[in-house]
Structure 1
């Protein structure tokens, strides 16, 4: 309670400052870049300043979570792909919410799924409450209100006293100097709509920041401890029966589908009513969704089974292991279908993202075997989250749009079908690859790509320095010397290449 009273005023003042800073940095056209990274650094500095005023230091785990969040926010400066920016922002927000669960304690690494869910819910509620969360537990609300009222009356009286001479003197000075008169006129002739937009944006960010600082700086350990879902007392044998029904479903699915799931392209093409594109496309999304849904079912099964050291518990874990193996088979078939689709139509951002999700699901299943099936369920949630964050970090290192450009340009060089329209929509991350291999494209497509490079990457970026990122800066530096030399005569001719139907592209 005392920590809340001591930190309330500085936290609210810093929240207002961060709201104003966000309005100055973030409200620009274009994707987030340097602006969000700078704001995140400022927010991290505010956390450090406020933590020094608190008696309990932040746990090492909390410091690592905040540092990782700042790292993902800083990654916005490196790449230009919008999807990668969304993933990075999501990762940063998730890490910050876990860090605010209880900053003074190392709780996340051993928290179960329900603990993390409740902690995130607590942070979300406090963010929505904003500064109201700080008001609870004040020593004397009436005294505080009286103090604010006295200060407001003082300011109002002083303003009223200064108003008459202020108006008279201003009028005289405006008459004496037309330049000064124009300055006063321009200053007070305000377009109210932009002002309201700035005030509303800054106020919303300040409100959310005040709530987050409340969640981060004041750990409601007692409240979190009370948020427990009552555990049912199902017998391990009952849960095993339920899982065996799922096992039978997956066994039947694999038995029926095995002939053409792994039968190759020739078998697929001769199957009645099943085209190559339909076979590949209709498979992997449904199979990935199936695997994603089964993982929480396995966690619920382990949680719902009553603690038991008898043979029934051993049978339950064996049953779960069988289901995991079958699920790996389903994921393998999804990966196989994805490979078929990529071989047929090339690589896109969505197809690459689904492939990364498949890798993450495989890692999650392996981690489930190492933790849940060995009686260490409390380690599963945090490890799965770390695996997901590692996948996002790997995407940054992989540079998805450059990889997509390389794969599709290889297809073009080999004479295979490739989607030139999609290639021209890639971000600045792909520009170095496109420039390096421009001569490998057919003439018509080379002209289209060259025109796109000049149109998109010449001149200044929308949003100015606040939307700056390294890939965009590098792309503009590479294109600038070539401006006017990339154009092709007759650039409006149609491309002479086979492009798959848009309906076949997920």
Structure 2
């Protein structure tokens, strides 16, 4: 339902006010984004304005604690997008903005439901906008007190007419005002209009509309579960006997896998003929993580409330042993990935995989805490969601290209005398953030060999410098600013050695 004061505003006036706010937001987006090479600080400013607009035009039902938490989450997300614009930081800041609007307007609730409703705001804008326009028109016709649109327009004739007369007189008397009037030539509006710009404004209006008119949904009537469902017995499929036998078999199988890893990876046992340690490590790293996730799902089924674990004293110890073996499995996957990195260098995907493996290990340990402390499944869901959100937020501030490039330069054969050869093409494909590590590689190579690298990509450095120099403030990010400072303090990159200079 459209919310407006019966004594002060008509439905048409309410709709005009909301449409004006949407138009202002679209104008701000046009100024910040349209025909711009990239986004940076502009995205942070726009989403911050969206959050501010939400709390200004909608009733706030959240308590003080929720207000502080929602505002802090939005500010932290805006800091992440200001540090660097990536798909991860973009998704986090969009999610934080949507949750901020949802929580501030409707108060607390179960966070999965809140998140689902918040995500719906991305898609309902066009439907809400059209529905509100039709509803406001229908309500205005049904009310006898509603001012007719023609009368409303007539009431604007005198103010606008006199305003234009005074403006023309001031422009005649004041050359500064005359210059301002010339800048705001109405003909420029038609010159700037284009189908793409009109579509852009419509998209922004549809995006912003749910934030200027958030609706309270009616809570569905609770449905009682059928007696046959609430008292359903899992029978032989997931009963006590099935879970107990599964745990015995799984623990035995996982013990074999763990023993092999201990023998081959940590114990140094010779591998079968033709199999290298790098191949052994790479082949099992990712499948073992998938195995651990599947095992964690089985543990949740076995330890569910009212499940077989409550009727058998043998299941809980076996589950704890099973979880411990899964933790060992994830640690083994981490170690395998480390061996593969030692043999074939680090990449962004391998670094992300190691972070993911660590998060899986944390989830398994949280399952152990849940079992030992008798926590609910809701506690486990909240704890895992918090761990995942904290990890993703932390990753927004990790400069993955710089970390990967620095690691590969430090551990390559050309600079350290050991390890794999540096893949210069991959290093430069990481983008401008890898250039400081590449300069370090050139310097270390020259110090170790007394000459420059056989192929020095100076054009890549010039391109990277131009990428962070030729940007306006709208595309500013803290990470890009740090790289620009590096280029300003190291304009020539690695300093040539005296031997190299004598060769030239």
Q: Please report the TM-score for the alignment, with normalisation by the length of structure 2.
A: 0.72
After superposition, the CA RMSD in angstroms is 4.6
Name 1:477's counterpart in structure 2. 485
Structure 1 unaligned spans of 5+: 163-179, 490-506
Alignment of 1:98-497 (within 5 A): 98-99=99-100, 102-103=103-104, 104-108=106-110, 116=112, 118-130=113-125, 132-133=127-128, 135=131, 142-144=138-140, 151=149, 187=188, 190=191, 195-212=194-211, 214=213, 217-220=214-217, 222-223=219-220, 233-234=232-233, 238-240=238-240, 241-242=242-243, 244-245=245-246, 248-249=249-250, 251-256=252-257, 258-260=259-261, 262-264=263-265, 270-303=271-304, 305-306=305-306, 310-312=310-312, 315-371=314-370, 374-412=374-412, 413-415=415-417, 416-417=419-420, 418-436=422-440, 438-441=442-445, 445=453, 448-458=456-466, 461=469, 464-480=472-488, 483=491
Structure 2 unaligned spans of 5+: 161-180, 498-504
Q: Secondary structure at the match of 1:441?
A: helix
CA shift for structure 1 position 460 = 5.6
Do the aligned residues in 2 keep the contact of 1:28 with 1:467 (CA within 8 Å)?
no
Do the aligned residues in 2 keep the contact of 1:16 with 1:206 (CA within 8 Å)?
yes
Q: Please report the TM-score for the alignment, with normalisation by the length of structure 1.
A: 0.72
Count of aligned residue pairs for this structure pair: 452
Taking a change above 3 Å as real, the CA distance of residues 362 and 101 of structure 1, as seen in their structure-2 partners, is farther
Aligned partners of 1:36, 1:286: CA distance in 2, in Å? Answer: 38
CA shift for structure 1 position 435 = 3.9
- RCO greater where, 1 or 2, for CA within 8 Å and sep 6 or more? 1
Aligned partners of 1:58, 1:226: CA distance in 2, in Å? Answer: 29
CA shift for structure 1 position 255 = 0.6
Q: Secondary structure at the match of 1:49?
A: helix
Aligned partners of 1:28, 1:483: CA distance in 2, in Å? Answer: 30
1:65 aligns with 2:70: yes
Do the aligned residues in 2 keep the contact of 1:66 with 1:99 (CA within 8 Å)?
yes
Taking a change above 3 Å as real, the CA distance of residues 298 and 459 of structure 1, as seen in their structure-2 partners, is closer
Do the aligned residues in 2 keep the contact of 1:281 with 1:341 (CA within 8 Å)?
yes
What do residues 457-504 of structure 1 show as CA deviations (whole Å, max 9, x unaligned)? 137656532111122223233324655676989xxxxxxxxxxxxxxx
Structure with higher Rg: it is 2
Name 1:165's counterpart in structure 2. none
Deviation larger for 399-408 or 233-242? 233-242
Aligned partners of 1:61, 1:478: CA distance in 2, in Å? Answer: 41
Do the aligned residues in 1 keep the contact of 2:348 with 2:404 (CA within 8 Å)?
yes
Do the aligned residues in 2 keep the contact of 1:405 with 1:433 (CA within 8 Å)?
yes
Alignment of 1:39-58 (within 5 A): 39-51=46-58, 54=59, 56-58=61-63
Name 1:37's counterpart in structure 2. 44
Aligned partners of 2:441, 2:191: CA distance in 1, in Å? Answer: 52
